[in-house]
Structure 1
Amino acid sequence: MRRRAVLLSAAGVLLAAGCGGEPSESSAFVEPAGGSSSAGIPSPGSSSSAGSASGGSSTPDKSKISVPAALKFSGKTLDGKAFDATTLAGKPTILWFWAPWCATCASEAQSVRDLHEEYGDRLSFLGIAGMGGNREMHQFVKDLEVGAVTHLDDGAGKIWKKFKITEQSLYVVLDRAGQVRHTGYLDDLQLTRQVKALVA
């Protein structure tokens, strides 16, 4: 109960800030929205996964995996460590684009954490934080207890631009072969359905 109260308190503080606007100094990288939410997302083309489809093996043979275009990016974790997204190839992946001041993002944190705990051996979650400072990103992760998920500091907006993300909070859902299955907002039930479909 105490943990729940802390989470609700943190979410309440963020709700007061709201998600309707963006800090002006961080908005320079945001491109204008244009058309469909999945438009402009890199297509993996003919790339395919050689990961085993027979149930059970959660560790595909990396030497046989073709890296899809969607996972050809790199960044830095919140702690400044280099991160190469090609290491995610061969498993379904959910990219969570969030901002540290966003109340909607805060309300999603528990679902992300719970789904990562339950299905993290069969798919990857990657948080991609933008539109805020590194200190605030760290505080968000700490307050909402999503530290088990890897998060990248994309304050410069490089990865957000790659996926044509123009607002928070949005998900990009990639299947095992790196095909984009969904881009956009998902509520908790929709996110759970997406996860279960990916690992089925």
Structure 2
Amino acid sequence: MSSVLAKFSVAATLLFVSMSQPASANPLPTLALEKRGCYGGFPFNHLHGGYHHDLTSEVLSDITSTCLAAAGRTISSSSPFWRCTNWQETNSWKETCFSDCEDGCAALPKDYGAALCGLGCDPNCDTGPTYGYNRIDWAIEMRDGGADKVIDFETCVNAFKTELGGCQSGSEQYHDGFWFRIDPAQGGC
């Protein structure tokens, strides 16, 4: 009996560990990313409102335009590069209200009235309005007394891609002597 319990305990632990690992839809390299700067808030995949399965290509496009704006600038402790880009919400947070209701009812045990619960799900439920804009806040800075330095396009793109690939809710850390931050957030710029 204890052998069966031990096997069950190991299997349950492995299942829990595999389920607790965040799944990333980003096929980007994480390189040597130290996740000391990962944020735990608003994720990139919510930038258009609601949940989108993968906005990596759109965020990569925003990285390109941000790095084009930054490239060639001298970054110093008194002259950082800060930028905010708006992302229009195109979906409401309740756009799946009917399927969410049905899924919730289907998860109930039959003796708790799952069938009756489903009758209360309204296929014409109020999906709610969109709320305007969300944003990404960007920063490239020199910190800790670093010497003034010109940022080039390639360094900028590689750093922001690394941050995007490592953290679904934005992050910050040093790359090539610069301090980079990419932070998706609710509300417009």
TM-score, normalised to structure 1, is 0.23
Which structure would you say has the larger RCO, counting Cα contacts within 8 Å and 6 or more residues apart? 2
TM-score, normalization: structure 2?
A: 0.24
